[in-house]
Amino acid sequence: YNHFPGTIKWKKDKITYRILNYTPDISSTDVDTAIWRALKIWSDITPLKFTRIFEGEADIMISFGAREHGDNYPFDGANGLLAHAFPPAAGIGGDTHFDEDETWTMGSNGYNLFLVAAHEFGHALGLAHSRDPGALMFPTYTFASVNEFRLSQDDVSGIQALYGASNEIKPNPRPQPPKTPEKCDPYLSFDAVAGLRGEMLFFKDRFFWRRHPQMPEAQLTLINSFWPKIPAKIDAAYENFERDFLVVIQGNKYWAVNGYDVMPGYPKNIRRFGIPSSVRKIDAAVHIRTTSKTLFFAGDQYWSFDETKRAMDEGYPHLITDDWPGIPARVDAAFEQHGYIYFFRGPAQFLYNIREQRVLQIDRINQWVGC
Amino acid sequence: SSAVPLSEIEKNEEDWQLAQTYLNRFYKLKDSSAGFASKNRNYVSKSSLSNKIKKMQEFFGLEITGNLDSATMGIMEKPRCGVPDVAE
């Protein structure tokens, strides 16, 4: 997280706000609710108290405006800049402006007013932008389900460094805020791994590391920042080379992703591959180009699907340990490259030679994401 | 050698324009050094632009190349907050 130079903050805990005008995109009641909720996420975890006033000068004056709207920081029409807010201070300090040229929404069909307002009020309280891609205070917009929204640990640490924690005794303690995965975490494990047009994708919680073969660094991004229409967290993924798309699996559904777009007609049910309905979750999936088979791993078993015949091979499932000597009984993720299958289990990866049918090497997984 | 198609030149020009606006807004692009004189108020030296691109790439955890590669352009095209990333 970051603060503004001079660690500017309000020198009081009771802060007033006033909504000066409304957007025609959503009802004024909804705007009131979105603003109230967006302030509440900050007051829930600090001693701050927000009071709405309806006339006079409030600490946080909230308004919708387009293009040049009176503060010499013009907006830019639809998309691009969505809103801005001023750090804590008298006068314009704390004021928060939303670009009226955007389509504001309470859902996902436009820019969600609650999510943008929550971010901007972070600025109005003294937070600058964070480099943590999982933080609310990250500069770019990514839709997230409002009902499941939680501040990240980075956001909580940043605001509490300014104002301290809430002094109220909460009856039921709040769950731990979500943390952004660390590439050097010795206990790191992957949810899914897949190639995509020459790059490698390593999925973990709401994120994935994207790594280009020639680049030592891997870029950490929110899954929904890239693909808003697939689940925030996935169980398995594989690249279907024949049909040039990425398949991502979550629960008993799967999506086909082509570049940035989810292909029409998805999600579909994994039953279509011939996987029995007793299987509630796929742990790993890997496509083997030389045989055109896609293997699905669930628990201590796996299935083999023939992409050419578009049918499950006979006699499956098999036990993993029966067919893959040296591989753990269960796996988290897998992908195939140049005749090897990389299996991932916890912090370890197993390099398996398909032709020789044996494990050649066991390594730590952090190296894939630049550590 | 074949001439670069006009559309590609225009695309590159567009990207540079977008990048300059973006970096000026969020990374204090205008070179504030006293001796910096330029005829064109918006003229920005290539090296200054490249340095600001590096700052932006570092902020977003991208490969620090100083070039307008696709990952960098991808971030610049995303909807975002108007507050600068490098706070004044």
Q: pLDDT per residue over A30-89, tens digit each?
A: 999 999 999 999 999 999 999 999 999 999 999 999 999 999 999 999 999 999 999 999
Mutation to test the B interface, candidates A3, A75, A81, A209, most B Cβ within 10 Å: A81
Q: Report whether A105 contacts A117 (CB < 8 A).
A: no
CB atoms within 10 A of CB B73: 13
Percent of the residues in chain A that have a pLDDT greater than 90, as a whole number: 87
Give the residue, A178 or A111, on which the prediction is more confident: A111
Could you give the CA distance from residue A256 to residue A331 in angstroms, rounded to a whole number?
22
Token pair belonging to A55: 């006339």
Q: What is the pLDDT of residue B34?
A: 36
Residue B87 has pLDDT above 70, yes or no: no
List the single residue in B with minimal CA-CA distance to A85. Answer: B83
CA distance A324 to A350: 11
Q: Check pLDDT > 90 for residue A261.
A: no
**Measured between beta carbons, which residues in chain B are less than 8 angstroms from residue A82?**
79-82
Residue A320 near residue A302, CB atoms below 8 Å: yes
Q: How confident is the model at residue A138, as a pLDDT?
A: 97
Nearest of A121, A135, A125 to residue A1 by alpha carbon: A135
- Looking at this protein, which amino acid is placed at residue A31? V
Q: In this model, does residue A241 exceed pLDDT 80?
A: yes
| Average pLDDT estimate for A157-171 | 89
Out of B62, B63, B80, the one facing A139 most closely (by C-beta) is B80
For residue A172, what pLDDT band results from cuts at 50, 70 and 90? Answer: confident
The reply to whether residue A140 touches residue B85, judged by beta carbons under 8 angstroms, is no
Structure tokens, B66 = 């100083």
**Residue of A4, A84, A128 lying closest to B82 (CB–CB):** A84
Q: What is the pLDDT of residue B5?
A: 57
Separation of alpha carbons A329 and A321, rounded Å: 6
Q: Identify the CA nearest to B75 among candidates A129, A357, A51.
A: A129
Question: What is the structure's pLDDT at B38?
Answer: 41
Using 50, 70 and 90 to split pLDDT, how confident is the model at A215?
confident
Of A69-83, A183-197, A206-220, A309-323, minimum mean pLDDT range: A206-220
Each as own residue / partner, the long-range contacts of residues A12-16 (CB below 8 Å, 24 or more positions apart, any chain) are: A13/A46, A13/A47, A13/A48, A13/A49, A13/A163, A14/A48, A14/A49, A14/A51, A15/A48, A15/A49, A15/A50, A15/A51, A15/A59, A15/A60, A15/A94, A16/A50, A16/A51, A16/A52, A16/A53, A16/A58, A16/A59, A16/A60
A145 three-state secondary structure? coil
Q: Identify the DSSP state of A282.
A: -
Point out the residue among B71, B78, B83 whose CB comes nearest to the CB of A85: B83
Report chain A residues whose CB lies below 8 A from the CB of B88. 5
A4 close contact with B: CB closer than 8 A: yes
Q: How far is CA A35 from CA A20, A29, A46, B8, B11, in A?
A: 12, 10, 17, 44, 40
State whether ipTM is beyond 0.95.
no
- B43-47: average pLDDT: 66
At how many degrees (to 10) do helices A153-163 and A113-125 cross? 40
* Inter-chain CB proximity A81 and B88 less than 8 Å: no
Contact partners, residue B76, CB within 8 Å, separation at least 6: B18, B19, B22, B56
Residue A244 in this model has a pLDDT that exceeds 70? yes
Cα–Cα distance between A327 and A324 in angstroms, integer? Answer: 6
Decide: A188 and A347 in contact? Cβ < 8 Å: yes
| Contacts A128 to B, Cβ<8 Å | 83, 85, 87
**Closest C-alpha to A98, from A70, A66, A71:** A66
The minimal CB distance from A140 to the residues B63, B71, B75 is found for B75
Answer yes or no: do A219 and B78 touch at CB < 8 A. no
Q: Does the distance separating the beta carbons of A73 and B81 come in below 8 Å? A: no
Under 8 Å CB pairs connecting chains A and B tally to 66
Give the pLDDT band (50/70/90) at residue B70.
confident
Do residues A183 and A30 make contact, with C-beta atoms less than 8 angstroms apart?
no
Instruction: Decide if B61 contacts B74 (C-beta within 8 A).
Output: no
Question: Each residue of A270-283: pLDDT tens digit?
Answer: 999 999 999 999 99
On the question of pLDDT at B8 being above 80, the answer is no
**Catalytic residue positions of A, numbered:** 120
Geometric angle at alpha carbon A94, from A2 and A25, rounded to 5°: 105
Q: What percent of chain A has pLDDT over 70?
A: 100
What Cα–Cα distance (Å) separates residue A281 from each residue in A161, A332, A353, B4? Answer: 40, 11, 27, 50
User: In chain A, what residues touch B82 (CB-CB under 8 Å)?
Assistant: 73, 75, 81-84
Q: What's the pLDDT score for residue B23? A: 92
User: What is the per-residue pLDDT across B18-39, written as a single tens digit (0 to 9) for each?
Assistant: 899 999 999 985 554 433 334 4
Task: Tell me if B79 and A82 make a contact (CB, 8 A cut-off).
Answer: yes
Residue B71 three-state SS: helix
pLDDT at B32: 46
Cα–Cα dist A209/A204, whole Å: 8
Interface of A with B in 118-177 (CB under 8 A): 119-120, 123, 128-129, 131, 133, 139-141
Residues of chain B whose C-beta is under 8 A from some C-beta in A?
26, 59-63, 71, 75, 78-85, 87-88
- Residue A296 above 70 pLDDT? yes
Q: Which residues contact A108 (CB under 8 A, 6 or more apart)?
A: A143, A228
